[in-house]
Structure 1
Amino acid sequence: MNNKIIAGSLVIAFWLSTFSGIAQVNFNDKPELAATPPMGWMTWNYFADKINEKDIKEMADAMVSSGMVKAGYNYLMIDDGWQGGRDNRNQIIADPLKFPSGVKSLADYVHEKGIKLGIYSDAAQLTCAGYTASLNFEEQDAKTFASWGIDYLKYDYCDAPADSATAVVRYKKMADALRNSGREIALGICEWGNRKPWLWAKNAGGQLWRTTADVRDKWAALKPWKDPNDLHSIGAGIMDIVDVNADLAQYAGPGGWNDFDMLVIGLNGKKGPSGDLGGKGCSETEYQSQMSLWSIMTAPLVATNDLRIMSEATKRILLNEDVIAINQDALGKQAERKINKGNWNVFVKPLKNGDYAIAILNRGASAESLSLNWKDLGLDGSYKINDLWLHKAVGNGKKWSGRVLSHETKLFRLSSTDK
């Protein structure tokens, strides 16, 4: 057979296997980079592209002093706006006014505090905010990031083609470059779910992949949507992102996670990226629900508020170790939505030690009561019910009854009492 025909057949076979989700080639050969969902803090929703090394160092300090690092938030991620172009050797450089000491110095600073440093680029010529990006410079930029001590790359997709095939090629090229850089650098694929990355992103080398439009600081979109792509123009709230991801549980697991975008907890309607498209802020109950739902659905937990001035309410939500333990459970199962009826959503997540996490969400506008038999969720037997927000046992047996506030999510850990 003609060599060109053979080569063409192999390419077609690769694409078919990739998009069917059954590719046997596993490019993600270091799942330990994200054995559990990454946790950390990211610059974008608070600072947008107005970032500098002073503010980032202060955030690193606050990650330690507030207890964030102790709780497991061990990545500090620099988003768009750090770039200063390329030098006469085409090596990407940081903006010298924003980062006069350089990124290597900043990485050393955060590493000394037990924090890993993330950075941002884009698989096109320019980033979403119009800065220098990495298309056709993947090998060079990956080695530069490695030399600086970078541990994580958020790789965006603004100004890139709409088709999926090109995205796979571009993301795999950067994943390969990172793997060959001499340093372990996790890759966050950020094409916002438009090309169904849950079907191909892990095989292309990503450890996590965004599944939706950018999150806004609001409970839900202000008008109905049919296609998730509509959320780019109307703004995705907490509930919209939950709904998109409720059908994607099978694609998440150790080494590869559905990325729900950042936690808006503590932003309180701040103007900026999260304040666009109706992002006027959420109630404390709604912020607590985001933490519950992101945790039980094994989403990366990436805060984006000002850690230097956190309220006690924000700390209470972000630093709840019992809730974080659900997110970081080593079994790595994303919760499945077992009930989606009327105002009620109920999610179930199996845990490694045999326990189950249960989230009961009231999406309605007023408080309501619910009686729930565990058998209706597929759980036989009797369980001790631990409320992870009240930090106490609230019952034993084969069912639960109680009142759930508007937009509240009850989060329980069930431990079998059967002998």
Structure 2
Amino acid sequence: MKLHCLILSVCLVMFTQAQEANRSKLAPLPPMGWMTWNLYGERIDEKLIRSIADAMDSTGMIAAGYKYLIIDDGWQGGRDKKNNIIADPVKFPSGIKALADYVHAKGLKLGIYSDAASLTCAGYTASLHFEEQDARTFASWGIDYLKYDYCNAPEDSGTAKARYTKMAQALSASGRDIVFGICEWGGRKPWFWAANAGGSVWRTTGDVRDKWKKEQGKDGEGIMDIYKVNVSLHAYAGTGHWNDPDMLVVGLYGAKGPSSDLGGIGCSDIEYQSQMSLWSMMAAPLIATNDIMAMNEATKKILLNPEVIAINQDPAGNQGQLIKSDTSFDLILKPLQNGDMALAILNKSGILQSYSFAGGTMGLPSGFTVRDCWKQRIVGKKDKWTGSIQPHETKLFRLIKKQQ
């Protein structure tokens, strides 16, 4: 009997390890896509999702690498007589399976949302105690990504680990590859445990609002507040497991919706460009939330810049590391697979500033050509750069190594 129990235990461990190894392959690069919440909140339906899929195609977002279309909270319609979770029949009369088929035909993957409690953040049906059943349902619909929130759940880390592990195991057993986004907002330090729990990405912070930074004495985290937390966590990101500093607010311009809560009055294009630069340097998921059916040219240039996206999607999987920080500037350095380096210089101040750098200093390599990823041209050929950086601007350079 003891030998039988030992064999079962060994088999269980091996099966769990195999599941974890398989899950780590589901997001080899930071996921890119678009999510409903920041702009639309609960005001979603199948017509909107189809229109967004069309727009992601026509605007070039799919071609640029934005592969996930993620439906956030508010799609649920309760459970049927067999306790299968169902979509709201008014919002999604054709069902999620038909919607997934439409999205897949566009070359996109479909994401959906649930919560590790009985009710979601917005008060809809969630997945606690129905993990296996819901995972099978999601798989049968053709779901490719699950954002799993943590509203209405206990605050301790032990419960969070157990609930997220249970859903990850259910997804692994569902018969479909489904990327798992752990969303407990960083309070239980998921960078220490989320990968082992089966997560592909994990939120490291609270919800980002459409603003540059939090005002003193007020709630609502802006781009800078989120960045300050996530930039220090470079040691925990890598191929198949990513720190997630929440969605991009690029192009929202203070639009009414959840992102406008708590002082989310909008940002300038320079500030939006900084978010794209910083998120790309941090190997963060690039999940847009703007109105892509009415994008202006400035937003398109930010979201679709191929050189910036290439830094985010670099196969080496490195999250950039903060190498210098003072009252005015932050410098982040990111090694790239081909031996080049990416360098971001953030002007945190509210005034125009001059800056210069040279090879062989501050941990920078020597013998490189400087390419400005936003201007998409060479701006320095002799191992150095000098120039001006606007308030709240992030310069993003590719330091191209000298060919041997």
**TM-score interval, normalised by the smaller of the two chains:** over 0.9
Matches within 5 A, 1:147-226: 147-223=140-216
Match of 2:80 in 1: 87
Number of the residue aligned with 1:104: 97
The question of whether the paired residues in 2 share the 8 Å contact of 1:60 and 1:76 is answered with yes
1:348 aligns with 2:333: yes
Q: Partner of 1:410 in structure 2?
A: 395
Task: Report the CA distance between 1:33 and its aligned residue.
Answer: 1.1
Contact 1:28 1:202 in 2 (8 A): no
Q: Which amino acid is 2:396 matched to?
A: L
Is the 2:19–2:172 contact (alpha carbons within 8 Å) kept by the matching residues of 1?
A: no
Following the alignment from structure 1 to structure 2, what is the Cα–Cα distance between the partners of residues 307 and 124?
32
In the TM superposition, residue 185 of structure 1 has moved relative to its aligned partner by 0.4
In the alignment, the residues of structure 2 paired with residue 376 and residue 137 of structure 1 have an alpha-carbon distance, to the nearest angstrom, of: 55
| Distance in 2 (alpha carbons) for counterparts of 1:383 and 1:27 | 40
Q: How far off is 1:29 after superposition?
A: 2.5
Distance 2:22 2:105 in 1: 28
The answer (yes or no) to whether the contact 1:25–1:203 under 8 Å persists in 2 is no
Distance in 2 of aligned mates of 1:28 and 1:327? 23
| C-alpha distance in 2 between matches for 1:380 and 1:360 | 16
1:381–1:418: 8 Å Cα contact kept in structure 2? no
The one-letter code of the counterpart of 1:179 is S
The number of aligned residues is 394
Q: Is the 8 A contact 1:28 1:207 kept in 2?
A: no
Shift of 1:26: 7.6
Q: Does 1:33 align with 2:18?
A: no
Q: Which residue is equivalent to 1:338?
A: 323
- 1:147 maps to amino acid: S
1:27 Cα deviation after fit: 2.4
Residue pair 2:23, 2:172 contacting (<8 A) in 1 also: no
CA deviations on 1:192-251 (whole Å, 9 max, x unpaired) are: 000000000000000000000000000011127xxxxxxxx7111111111001210010
CA distance in 2, matches of 1:140, 1:240: 38
Q: Is the 8 A contact 1:202 1:256 kept in 2?
A: yes
Counterpart in the other structure of 2:35:
42
Point out the more displaced range, 390-399 or 244-253.
Answer: 390-399
Note the C-alpha offset of 1:379: 2.4
Q: Which moved more, 1:26-35 or 1:108-117?
A: 26-35
Shift of 1:28: 4.4
Change (3 A) 1:357 1:36: same
Out of 302, 305, 309, the position equivalent to 1:324 is 309
User: 1:300: which partner in 2?
Assistant: 285
TM-score by length of 2: 0.95
Q: Bigger shift: 394-403 or 113-122?
A: 394-403
1:396 to partner: Cα distance: 1.8
TM-score, scaled to structure 1: 0.91
Amino acid of the structure 2 residue aligned with 1:215: V
CA distance in 2, matches of 1:330, 1:31: 15
Aligned to 2:235, the other structure's residue is in SS state helix
Q: Secondary structure at the match of 1:108?
A: helix
Question: Is residue 348–residue 377 contact of structure 1 (8 Å, CA) maintained in 2?
Answer: no
Match of 2:261 in 1: 276
Partner of residue 220 from structure 2, selected from 228, 231, 235: 235
SS in 1 for 2:307: helix
RMSD: 1.9
For the Cα contact (< 8 Å) 1:298–1:335, is it kept in 2?
Answer: yes
Residue 59 of structure 2 is aligned to residue 66 of structure 1: yes
Deviations 1:34-62 (A, max 9, x none): 00000000000111011000011000000
* Ranges in structure 1 where 5+ consecutive residues have no aligned partner: 1-6, 15-22, 225-232
Report what 2:362 is aligned to: 377
Residue 397 in structure 1 maps to residue 382 in structure 2: yes
Give secondary structure in 2 for the equivalent of 1:32.
coil
CA distance in structure 1 between the partners assigned to 2:59 and 2:284 by the alignment: 22
Q: How does 1:232-271 map to 2 (within 5 A)?
A: 234-271=219-256
- Quote the Cα distance in structure 2 between the aligned partners of 1:381 and 1:309: 44
Classify the secondary structure of the residue corresponding to 1:79: coil
For residues 343 and 223 of structure 1, the distance between their equivalents in structure 2, rounded to whole angstroms, comes to: 19
The letter of the residue matching 1:97 is: V
2:233, 2:21 → 1: CA distance?
19
Tell me, what secondary structure is at the counterpart of 2:160? helix
